[in-house]
Amino acid sequence: MWLVLCASNDISALWAYRGLAARGLTPLELVSAEMLAYSVHWEHRLGADGVSIDITLADGRRICGENARGVLNRLLSVSSEHLLLANPADRDYATQELAAFFTSWLYALPQPVLNRPTPRGLSGQWRHVSEWVWLASKAGLPAPDYRQTSRDRVDGMGIERGLVPIGTPVSTVIVVEGHIVGTPLPAEIHEGCRRLADLSGTGLLGVEFAAGSAGLWTFAGATPLPDLRLGGQVLLDIIASVLRGELEENE
């Protein structure tokens, strides 16, 4: 089986699920974070003989790691609605333990997995904007200067300061195992995006550009959870091929 793991409100992932099903990935299972929270059976073993995963969802579907042929992983966090009535101190502890458990069993899924979990995120590493600027510069992309002081504040929603003002037009490309889909890019920017994905250890990465201080193709941000719809049908073709194991990383 193939798996699409996501939040129930991840419109981008739901769109990709329908598109991948239309490309013949069968059986293809859509499993949300909320479904996983209410699973009726979990078994995750780690030992000298390897690892195993056996999950039975509330609707009767069964997920066995040995049967997984490919995974599109869009999980952002562990659903904790079922813990709302717990003591607050216990709830925080349980949430942390569940996050560690999810990281372990997700990492144990056999390849190919887009994206594998890390200690900094269930679907890839979530970095501060300053880290992305440093990696982009290291990858050879035109990156703006970034300065932050103790006087800088996040906005009322807790969102950190971005690289470009809100409302600035941006161009987005998506890198999938070295294959790039989206806005046509100059050759040096194209190669820089591949290097950024490689340096960040992210199999599926969205990269944004805007006209700025470093020129027309100034780096404006990156995310392991891009809007897949921006890549259109070509992106779905590539993802399907990667999940089938038919498409190796572009050299």
Give 163's Cβ-side CA count (13 Å radius).
29
Q: Do 114 and 73 form a contact (C-beta atoms < 8 A)?
A: yes
Residue 241 has pLDDT above 60, yes or no: yes
Give the contacts of 210 (CB within 8 A, at least 6 positions apart): 163, 164, 168, 169, 170, 171, 218, 220
Whole-structure pTM value: 0.89
Residue 71 has pLDDT above 90, yes or no: yes
Q: Do 20 and 13 form a contact (C-beta atoms < 8 A)?
A: no
Distance between alpha carbon 100 and the CA centroid of its chain, in Å? 17
Domains of the chain (ranges; CATH) run 2-114 (no CATH), 129-223 (3.30.470)
Q: State mean pLDDT over 129-153.
A: 86
Residue 216 has pLDDT above 90, yes or no: no
Q: What is the pLDDT of residue 127?
A: 92
Q: What is the pLDDT of residue 48?
A: 87
- Read off the pLDDT band of 240 (50, 70, 90): very high
Q: What is the pLDDT of residue 156?
A: 43
- Distance separating alpha carbons of residues 111 and 121, to the nearest angstrom: 18
